[in-house]
Amino acid sequence: MKKSMKKLLSLAMAIALAASLTACGSGKTSETTAAGEKAASGESSGAAASGEGSFKIGGIGPITGSTAIYGQAVMRGAELAIEEINADGGINGAQIVYNFQDDENDTEKAVNAYNTLKDWGMQMLVGTVTSAPCIAVGAESSNDNIFQLTPSGSAVDCAKFENQFRVCFSDPNQGAASAQYIGENKLATKVAIIYDSSDVYSSGIHDKFLSEAPNQGIEIVSDEAFTADNNTNFSVQLQKAQDSGAELVFLPIYYSQAALILAQAKQMGYEPQFFGCDGLDGLLTVENFDTSLAENVMLLTPFAADAKDELTQKFVTTFKEKYGETPNQFAADGYDAVYAIKAAAEKAAITADMDASAICDALKTSMTEISVNGLTGENMKWSKDGEPDKAPKAVKIVNGVYTAM
């Protein structure tokens, strides 16, 4: 390329960059090309008109990348809730506009997503879905005093600042609860653990379980980890559990890996009692999964898609109609998060023309004054430090269905 051409091109690129700096900012109400019926859309305004008289709720989570299932589930659950609320008249008479941004489960991208939402004019944040991005975004949102309710970020630090609240259990909570349940019900004395050491959720629960186990008379005979890069072959971990004589294998992991572990254990002819936490929810709905492999698996979960109560049934049916698959607890968390915001917003009587900081101050107080009957807990109440006070329900999978224990 001729030198003058090169210089011209560099100049052109520089100008384009400068232009994009200013152009791509102020209030980009991304009118997304809502892709296909099944694919997730970035923004759903329901029947809303943007601008005056509507609340802007932002969402952040992974909708691409290996953890996309969780982000998409939360996004869809929240969307469903927002549609219902909007059809019902909105919050305090104002419609809700929803904008979900992808963070690819990466802390840097999550902060970019947060900034994009700030440009859009977000007043409240339902996010993030995963823990590490939640902590990173939390530092920003607490600086900006924007209300943040994470549906599924379970690390303790996700609710660290005053403006942060959480819908799901915290990891230490579940770890301790699991150990207590196993101990009190005398399920086993020799327990093996298989956990994901590269995942905040899994390690958090594991650590707490380990420290609570001795108090419950549980002996940890095998404690093996795997990493996100190496999460398909569990023969070694299962072999060690088997060789150590474990009667129960604790799996504080997500359902995709659990499905593999169950299949491999069966192949080996190893049939211990499997016990997991809320990450296991969704196991039965993996496409083409042989549910007989999950027979007798016990888990602590706040949500059961086949529960018979009206709220759950309505949610599951509507979700299935709209998205073609059964919702898991991530979707339920997203749904509950929006309804929690609604309750808090109505209690604090906020209006759509208030700025984000004022809304945050109001919600910070009102969150501790409400009680929500949600999919993931009855009578959920929040304390000042952002934690919900719900107790996990223990269920057992019998005949491919959750049954209470």
Partner 1 sequence: MEKSMKINFRLNKTLKSNIITYGIVIAAYIIVQLLVNAGQVSNLMKGLLVPICIYTIMAISLNLTVGILGELSLGHAGFMCVGAFSSALFSISMLDAIPNAGIRFFFAILIGAFFAALAGIVVGIPVLRLRGDYLAIVTLAFGEIIKNVINVVYIGKDASGLHFSTKNAMALNMTKEGTVIINGAQGITGTPKNSTFTIGVILILITLVIVLNLIHSRSGRAIMSVRDNRIAAESIGINITKYKLMAFTISAALAGVAGVLYSHNLSALTATQKNFGYNQSIMILVFVVLGGIGNIRGSMIAAVLLTLLPELLRGLNTYRMLIYAIILIVMMIFNWSPKLIDLRKRYFHKNRAEKERA
Partner 2 sequence: MMSFISYFINGLSLGSVYAIIALGYTMVYGIAKMLNFAHGDVIMIGGYVVFTVVSTMGLGPVAGILLAVILCTVLGVVIEGVAYRPLRMASPLAVLITAIGVSYLLQNIALLVFGSNPKSFTSVVTVPALKLLQGKLIISGETIVTIISCIIIMIGLTMFIKKTRAGQAMLAVSEDKGAAQLMGINVDGTIALTFAIGSALAAVAGALLCSAYPTLTPYTGSMPGIKAFVAAVFGGIGSIPGAFIGGLLLGVIENLSKAYISSQLSDAIVFGVLIVVLLVKPTGILGKKINEKV
Give residues in contact with partner 2 (CB under 8 A): 35-36, 38-39, 63-66, 68-69, 72, 197-198, 224-227, 229-230, 232-233, 235-237, 239-240, 243, 256, 259-260, 263, 267-269, 286-290, 325
Q: How far is the CB of 221 from partner 2 (least distance, A)?
A: 15
313 binds, among partner 2, partner 1, none (CB under 5 to 8 A by kind): none
List binders of partner 1 among 161-220 (CB under 8 A).
Answer: 197-200, 203-204, 206-207, 210-211
* Residues sharing a CB contact under 8 Å with residue 186, sequence separation 6 or more, in sequence order: none
Figure out which of the listed residues 19, 51, 108, 296 binds partner 1, where binding follows CB under 8 A: 108
- Amino acid identity of residue 260, one-letter, is L
260 binds, among partner 1, partner 2, none (CB under 5 to 8 A by kind): partner 2
69 binds, among partner 1, partner 2, none (CB under 5 to 8 A by kind): partner 2
Q: Does 5 bind partner 1 (CB under 8 A)?
A: yes
281 exposure class (CB count in 10 Å sphere: 0-12, 13-18, 19+): buried
Q: How far is CA 135 from the centre of its chain?
A: 14
CA dihedral 275, 277, 283, 285 (to 10 degrees): 140
Q: How far is the CB of 377 from partner 2 (least distance, A)?
A: 25
Report whether 221 contacts 245 (CB < 8 A).
Answer: yes
Query: What is the per-residue DSSP string for 85-107?
Result: HHHTT-BTTBEEEEEEEE-TT-H
Q: How far is the CB of 52 from partner 2 (least distance, A)?
A: 35
290 binds, among partner 2, partner 1, none (CB under 5 to 8 A by kind): partner 2
296 binds, among partner 2, partner 1, none (CB under 5 to 8 A by kind): none
Of 362, 368, 359, 363, residue with least CA distance to 386: 368
By C-beta, is 158 or 380 nearer to partner 1? 158
**Cα separation of the two ends of the chain:** 74
Q: How far is the CB of 252 from partner 1 (least distance, A)?
A: 13
The torsion angles phi and psi of 332, rounded to 5 degrees, stand at -65, -40
398 binds, among partner 2, partner 1, none (CB under 5 to 8 A by kind): none
Structure tokens at 32: 């997304």
Q: How far is the CB of 344 from partner 2 (least distance, A)?
A: 31
Figure out which of the listed residues 50, 53, 69, 157 binds partner 1, where binding follows CB under 8 A: 157
Structure tokens at 256: 């995709």
By C-beta, is 265 or 350 nearer to partner 2? 265
Q: If DSSP codes are grouped into helix, strand and coil, which group holds residue 149?
A: strand
Q: Does 101 bind partner 1 (CB under 8 A)?
A: yes
Q: Does 26 bind partner 1 (CB under 8 A)?
A: yes
d(CA 346, CA 85): 12
Q: Does 357 bind partner 1 (CB under 8 A)?
A: no
Q: Does 139 bind partner 1 (CB under 8 A)?
A: yes
By C-beta, is 108 or 309 nearer to partner 1? 108
d(CA 139, CA 318): 36
Q: Does 69 bind partner 1 (CB under 8 A)?
A: no
289 binds, among partner 2, partner 1, none (CB under 5 to 8 A by kind): partner 2
d(CA 228, CA 295): 26
Of 132, 170, 127, residue with least CA distance to 146: 127
Query: What is the per-residue DSSP string for 108-147?
Result: HHHHHHHHHHHHHT--EEE--SSHHHHHHHHHHHHHHT-E
Q: Does 28 bind partner 1 (CB under 8 A)?
A: yes
d(CA 321, CA 360): 34
By C-beta, is 92 or 107 nearer to partner 1? 107
d(CA 393, CA 177): 10
The torsion angles phi and psi of 270, rounded to 5 degrees, stand at -105, 120
d(CA 255, CA 238): 16
Q: Does 318 bind partner 1 (CB under 8 A)?
A: no
List binders of partner 1 among 216-255 (CB under 8 A).
Answer: 227-229
Q: Which residues here bind partner 1, judged by CB under 8 A? A: 1-2, 5, 10, 13-14, 17-18, 20-22, 24-26, 28, 30-33, 35, 39-42, 63-65, 100-102, 104-108, 111-116, 118-119, 132-133, 135-136, 138-139, 155, 157, 197-200, 203-204, 206-207, 210-211, 227-229
